[in-house]
Structure 1
Amino acid sequence: MTRLIEPVRTAPVATRSGRLAGRIGWTFVLLAALAVVAYSAVPYFTASLHDLAGEEVGLAPTYAETSVFVQGALYVHIAGSATALVLGALQFWRGLRTRAPRVHRWIGRIYLTGVAVGGVGGLIIAPSSPAGYVGFFGFGALGVLWLASGWRAYRAIRRRDVPSHQAWMIRNYALTYAGVTLRVWLPLLLLAPLLLGQPWEFDSAFANAYAAVPFLCWLPNLVVAEWLIRRRGLPSYRLPVTRG
């Protein structure tokens, strides 16, 4: 019989080289988040959707002709996601947590608010995704897991269960970071036909690439998140063992 998933703990690994790698990794994560917000989010608040659609900026051509309600949800999603993307990276800065715990807590509250509004907005716009049903299910699943993991992180810290809170925050930010990894996967998938020696045409290549990213932008992130959780000795999960 298959057992329910059970929590496991592993021993943390802390070395000088590991701490240096952690600082480098954190710096990269933060800079990438800032770059994506500046490049992909800010333009929506500098011009109208119709103007951006004429310039074929991001999702503007898809949502410029939708209802006011869906357009409002798009802006809510962008604002909440951009806030969470930047502030979430700051929450993993150990110096902030140890030297300014009140600031850490307030940033956490704003972060989870960003996740909440961004997740709800994402669920509203998912049915209109240019990736069709794949986009609806892929981005819809992302929105549900994003909201659920944020809620679990909040509930854990309310119980003063810091290790579980940290584990759920890692999972949650891995989903938040889909905003970055989506923009990493897209150009790679666009160039894939050229690397494989296949005929290349932008529109078809982009359509094929965008059909893959609704799941690809967040599933590998969760795998990496679970690896980090285990590496840090935080409450993790293992797949149940089936016995005949």
Structure 2
Amino acid sequence: MRWNRLGWVAMAVLALAVAAYAFAVALTPEWRPPLVRDLFGQRPLAAWGHLLGGGVALAAGAFQLNTRLRNRWLGLHRWLGRVYAAAVGVGGLSALVLAPHALTGAVAATGFALLGLCWLATTALAVRAIRGRRLAAHRDWMVRSYALTLAAVTLRIYLGSSQLAGISFTVAYPAIAWLCWVPNLLLAEWFVRSPRARAMLAASAVPERWRRMPEPPRA
């Protein structure tokens, strides 16, 4: 459990750092790099929506995945879940507006567009599952959704690494448009299907009062 806790702390620190950066760039024009400045000049509503929606989703989702917080403050968990879903809706739709205009061309544009679609779809399925009181399915879809939210973190890690390695932006960026989210989603899929992970989640991630909720009748 110690490693699980350390893993959550590391993930939360990175997520909150990128969220803070997104808020700072959105709210402080002089901090915007040239690429972001161009986005605000050409498509300001989409730029605002993507930065603020993505930042809120990163911050809210980090706390949603903490077992102790979720089990202790169920009401807060539900409200943060609503905030997270709304933020993904805004951020994901804005991403679909911005994706066709991604730098370096069609490969990057397609990667970011599919990321936006998968982000919206996994979150919608998580919301649908909890409304149907299918708790295990909700948990699994939320793991997938937040893995895609964390693409904002992995994208910056890959961008920084490619610069340190001396790889030109035009070569690296099309690959990063896919690498920032496809491995995340594959890792999430492995996690939700892993017997050990499923046993851990079933034992600790669902509050006792949630376990007593009746499942809906099957058709």
Q: Scaled by the length of structure 2, what TM-score is found?
A: 0.84
Q: Which has the higher helix share?
A: 2
Instruction: Indicate conservation of the 8 Å contact 1:84/1:111, yes or no.
Output: yes
- CA displacement at 1:64 relative to structure 2: 4.5
- Greater RCO between the two (CA within 8 Å, min separation 6)? 1
Equivalent residue in structure 1 for 2:186, among 220, 223, 230:
223
Structure 1: unaligned runs, 5 residues or longer: 1-18, 194-199, 235-244
1-side partners of 2:53 and 2:37: how far apart?
21
Structure of higher CA gyration radius: 1
Runs ≥4 in structure 1, deviation > 3 angstroms? none
Instruction: Indicate conservation of the 8 Å contact 1:175/1:221, yes or no.
Output: yes
- CA displacement at 1:22 relative to structure 2: 0.8
Greater mean deviation of Cα atoms: 116-125 or 131-140:
131-140
Computed over aligned residues only, the root mean square deviation of the Cα atoms, in angstroms, reads 1.9
Aligned residue pairs total 198
Greater mean deviation of Cα atoms: 126-135 or 74-83:
126-135
Q: What's the secondary structure of 2:177's corresponding residue? A: helix
Instruction: Indicate conservation of the 8 Å contact 2:54/2:91, yes or no.
Output: yes
Equivalent residue in structure 2 for 1:35, among 10, 14, 17:
17
Structure 2: unaligned runs, 5 residues or longer: 200-219
Which residue is 1:85 aligned to?
58
Q: What's the secondary structure of 2:175's corresponding residue? A: helix
Judging changes above 3 Å, is the alpha-carbon distance between structure 1 residues 58 and 65 closer, same or farther for their aligned structure 2 residues? closer
Judging changes above 3 Å, is the alpha-carbon distance between structure 1 residues 61 and 45 closer, same or farther for their aligned structure 2 residues? closer
Residues 126-154 of structure 1: CA distance to partner in whole angstroms, max 9, x if unpaired?
11111321221000000000000001000
2-side partners of 1:59 and 1:24: how far apart?
34
Q: What's the secondary structure of 2:119's corresponding residue? A: helix
Residues 36-65 of structure 1: CA distance to partner in whole angstroms, max 9, x if unpaired?
122344122112xxx556xxx163244254
Instruction: Indicate conservation of the 8 Å contact 1:52/1:60, yes or no.
Output: no
